[in-house]
Amino acid sequence: MKTVPTLLTLDRFELSDELELFQTYYDRIQIDVADGVLVPNVTTQIDEFVELIEHDYIEMKPKTKLDFHLMVKNYKPELEKITKLQEESNIQINTVLINSGNHPDINKLKTLYTFTIGLDIFPSTEIDDITLYHDLNNINHIQIMTVEPGFQGSPFLPEMLNKITQLREHHYSGEILIDGGVNNTTLQLIQSQKHRPDIICIGSYLTKAGDDLEYRVKALKKFE
Domain positions in the chain: 2-221
Contacts of 1 (CB under 8 A, 6+ apart): 190, 191, 196, 197, 198, 199, 200, 223, 224
Query: 190: closest CA among 212, 163, 217, 151?
Result: 163
Neighbours of 213 (CB within 10 A): 17
Nearest 5°: phi and psi at 123? Answer: -55, -30
Top-level class of domain 2-221: alpha beta
The answer to whether 125 and 167 are in contact (CB under 8 A) is no
Dist CA 138 CA 141 (whole Å):
9
- Look at residue 128 in the predicted model and tell me its pLDDT: 95
**205 vs 13, 188, 201, 214, 221, CA distance in Å?**
20, 14, 10, 12, 14
Q: What is the pTM of this model?
A: 0.95
pLDDT reported for residue 65: 97
Taking the C-alpha atoms of residue 167 and residue 195, their distance in angstroms, rounded to an integer, is 10
Residue 176: predicted pLDDT:
98
The pLDDT score that the predictor gives to residue 218 is 94
CA distance 196 to 214: 24
Q: Please tell me the predicted confidence (pLDDT) of residue 223.
A: 84
Q: Where does 45-112 have alpha helices with state H?
A: 46-54, 76-89, 106-112
Nearest to 222 by CA among 186, 193, 184: 184
What confidence score (pLDDT) does residue 154 get? 81
Cα separation, 176 vs 92, in Å, equals 20
For residue 22, give the 3-state DSSP assignment.
helix
Residues listed for the chain: 224
Per-residue pLDDT at 191: 93
- Which residues in the chain show pLDDT less than 70? none
> Which class for 60: exposed (0-12), middle (13-18), buried (19 or more C-beta within 10 A)?
middle
